[in-house]
Amino acid sequence: MHSLGIDIGKTTMHVCLLTDDGKALRRKLDAGETGRVALIEWIEKKVGEPVHACMEATGGWEEAIATLLHEHGHTVSVVNPRRIKAYGDSEGARSKTDHADAGLIARFCRTQCPTQWHPPTEAERTLTDLVRRCADLEQMRCAEQNRLASPLRSSIVRDSLERSVTELNEQIAALTDDIRNHIDRNDELKGRRDLITSIPGIADATAEIILGELGDIMRFQSAQQLAAFCGITPCEWTSGTSVRRRPSISKRGNARLRAALFYPAMSAMQCNPVIHAFSERLRSAGKTGRQIVVAAMRKLLHLVYGVIKHQMPFNPAWTLDS
């Protein structure tokens, strides 16, 4: 299959098509709808058959072109930019341009055969937008509240901050209702939420973030893959006899999910019998409090994966080793 590398910018995208006969066909296109349509037509003209297209995850800019390519029968992969950078380093790349990056992504696609990407449903995409917007507003409210708590000599500034906090509170409350209503209107999302909230320690707010950030959880082949996506898998640093760093989590994953799971994990250590027993074993083994909480976060994700995979509510008789 021909490999297509796409380097996406805000206004333009550079593409490189590696054909089976060794040619590298390149083109620069507009990043908008006109350019996306032109890309589909260009592929059809040049090769006339499905290609394997690869692009970096760029915070949402890639989704429109990825969805269009998928709809036209092409295989699509959306990969972490760190993988592309590491691949370029392995090639000894010395320069970085949009033109060169498109070729690099195409070569990565051909040699590494990255996992196929599947577009989220419209309901999942809407939920992601709502959840992330609500998180943005909460960050803005926190910043305004911190400014309001600082010493202020001007009553005008204080009044402005108070109005801002009030308005943000109203927007957050409205968005929270929108998120709940959106899930309630969709049977599949509602079913997933009810399964996730059956796990002691996870309430509606956390379940909504999990659903908004993960979409279809079953796209992961295992609970370990899910934990790796969230960046809470163990990472060891040892080499020979001199390098002995303290193990930590990778943090190469979804930071929003890591933040959302911290307090639920602490709650689960008290109210969830499975997590409580697990954390007590770790405490007896001499693990630190931070290590125990992170491990509890990872085990909570394992439980989330389990209830979704088996379509069964949480059962306190479960063991995490099974």
Q: Render pLDDT for 94-119 as a digit per residue (tens, 0 to 9).
A: 778 888 999 999 999 999 999 898 88
Q: Using CA atoms, how far apart are residues 272 and 195, in angstroms rounded to an integer?
A: 15
User: Both tokens of residue 282?
Assistant: 């770790």
> Quick one: pLDDT band at residue 123, thresholds 50, 70, 90?
very high
E strand intervals along 198-283: 234-239, 243-249
- Cα separation, 23 vs 32, in Å, equals 27
Reference 2, options 51, 42, 49, 40; nearest CA is: 51
pLDDT tens for 125-167 read 999 999 999 999 999 999 999 999 888 778 899 999 999 999 9
- With H, G, I as helix, E, B as strand and everything else as coil, classify residue 235: strand
Q: What is the mean pLDDT of residues 197-205?
A: 94
Pick the closest to residue 33 from 3, 60, 13, 4 (CA basis): 13
Chain-centroid distance, C-alpha 110: 24
Secondary structure percentages of the chain, helix, strand, coil, to 5: 60, 15, 25
pLDDT at 281 > cutoff 60: yes
For the segment 273-289, the average pLDDT, to the nearest whole number, is: 91
Query: The whole model's pTM is what?
Result: 0.82
pLDDT of residue 138: 96
| DSSP conformation class of 316 | T
Instruction: Answer yes or no: is pLDDT of 72 > 50.
Output: yes
Q: What is the pLDDT of residue 131?
A: 95
pLDDT of residue 124: 93
What is the widest separation between alpha-carbon atoms in the chain?
A: 72
**What pLDDT is recorded for position 210?**
94
pLDDT at 241: 64
Q: How many whole angstroms separate alpha carbon 208 and alpha carbon 130?
A: 10
Phi, psi of 25 (to 5 degrees): -100, 130
- Token duo for residue 318: 């479960």
- pLDDT, averaged across the chain: 89
Beta-strand pair 51-56/75-79:
parallel
**Identity of residue 114:** P
pLDDT of residue 184: 96
Residue 194 has pLDDT above 90, yes or no: yes
Contact 208, 179 (CB under 8 A): yes
Q: CA separation (Å) from 243 to 92, 236, 240, 288?
A: 26, 10, 6, 22
The Cα 57–Cα 46 span in angstroms is 26
Q: How far is 38 from 178, CA to CA, in rounded Å?
A: 37
- Model pLDDT, residue 39: 92
Cβ atoms of 111 and 135 within 8 Å: the answer is no
Q: What is the pLDDT of residues 1-48, one digit of tens each?
A: 899 999 998 889 999 999 888 788 999 999 888 999 999 999 999 888
Residue 234: pLDDT over 90:
no
How far is CA 172 from each of CA 10, 13, 123, rounded to the nearest angstrom? 29, 35, 20
Mean pLDDT of 57-74: 88
What residues pair up with 310 in beta bridges, in sequence order? Answer: none
User: What mean pLDDT comes out for the span 243-257?
Assistant: 71
Alpha-carbon distances of 135 from 70, 226, 318, rounded to whole Å: 30, 21, 33
Provide the 3-class DSSP secondary structure of residue 244: strand
Strand partners, 309: none
For residue 322, pLDDT over 90 is answered with: no
| Residue 219 binned pLDDT confidence (cut-offs 50, 70, 90) | confident
Q: Look at residue 221 in the predicted model and tell me its pLDDT.
A: 86
Give the pLDDT band (50/70/90) at residue 240: low
Does position 321 have pLDDT exceeding 60, yes or no? Answer: no
